[in-house]
Amino acid sequence: MARRLLASGGAALIGTSLAIGFLTACGDESPGEASPPSASLSPASPASSAPATRAPDPGAQPGIQGARAALQQFLRGQAAGDQAVCRYVAAGGAFVRGPALKGDCPRGVRLTPHLLRPRERRAMRTVTVTGGDLRDGMAVIPFSALNWTRGAMSVETLQSEFALRHNGKIWQIVA
C-alpha cells in the first residue's frame, strides 16, 4: 500500500513540476496582470489599414478583350452556381430568356451546376475565351473560341455563338 501511494504521489509531483515549469516558461504573470503585447500583435500600420482597393471588373475592359473577359467570367461563375455573374447578362435579352436561364438569371445560374455533367462542369470552370471579333458595336464570340484545360463539352452544352454588347460600363451577353 505504501508503494502505491508513493507511486501515485510521485506522478502527481511530476505533473505539478511540469505545470510549474510550463508556467514559468510562459512568463511571470500574476492573475489580473496583462503582459505587454508582442510585436506580432501590434496594431497594423496606417498603410495596411487602408481599405482594400477593388480590382477593376474584367468585363469593363474596352474592345474584344472586355467581351472575352465578361463571357469567361460568366461561364466560370455559371459552372460554380455563382449568381453574381448575372451582371454579365443583359436584362430582357434573348440570352436570359433562353433554355439555360429561362427568364430568371439568378435561378438559372444557381441550378446550372446540378444540370451539367461533371465533365462539362469541369470544362466550364476552366474555360478561357481567346477568339471572337467586333461587328457593329457587338462582340460575337463563337463556341470554337472557347478553350478549357479539364473536362469536356460540346457546342450542345452551351450554344454555337455568343453576342455581347457594352452597356456603358461592362460587356453583357445579349444572345
pLDDT at 49: 52
Nearest to 70 by CA among 1, 132, 5: 132
Fold type of domain 58-173: Nuclear Transport Factor 2; Chain: A, (3.10.450)
- DSSP E strands: which ranges in 52-170? 128-129, 133-135, 138-142, 146-147, 161-166
Please give the average per-residue pLDDT across 142-148, as a whole number.
96
CB 133 within 8 A of CB 163: no
pLDDT at position 36 over 50: no
User: How confident is the model over 77-133, as pLDDT tens digits?
Assistant: 999 999 999 999 999 889 999 988 999 999 999 999 999 999 999 999 999 999 999
Mean pLDDT confidence for 48-65: 75
Mean pLDDT value across residues 16-20: 43
Higher confidence at residue 128 or residue 22? 128
Question: Which range (32-46, 59-73, 114-128, 150-164) has the least confidence?
Answer: 32-46
If you count them, how many residues does the chain have?
175
Q: Half-sphere exposure (CA, 13 Å, Cβ side) for 164?
A: 33
Mean pLDDT over 137-155 rounds to: 95
Distance, CA of 72 to chain centre? 14
* pLDDT exceeds 50 at position 54: yes
Please determine, for residue 157, whether its predicted confidence score (pLDDT) is greater than 50.
yes
At residue 146 the predicted structure's pLDDT band, cuts being 50, 70 and 90, is: very high
- The label of the residue with cell 461587328 reads 135
Contact at 8 Å (CB) between 172 and 88? yes
Residue 141 has pLDDT above 80, yes or no: yes
Q: What percent of the chain has pLDDT over 70?
A: 70
Q: What percent of the chain has pLDDT over 90?
A: 60
pLDDT of residue 59: 85
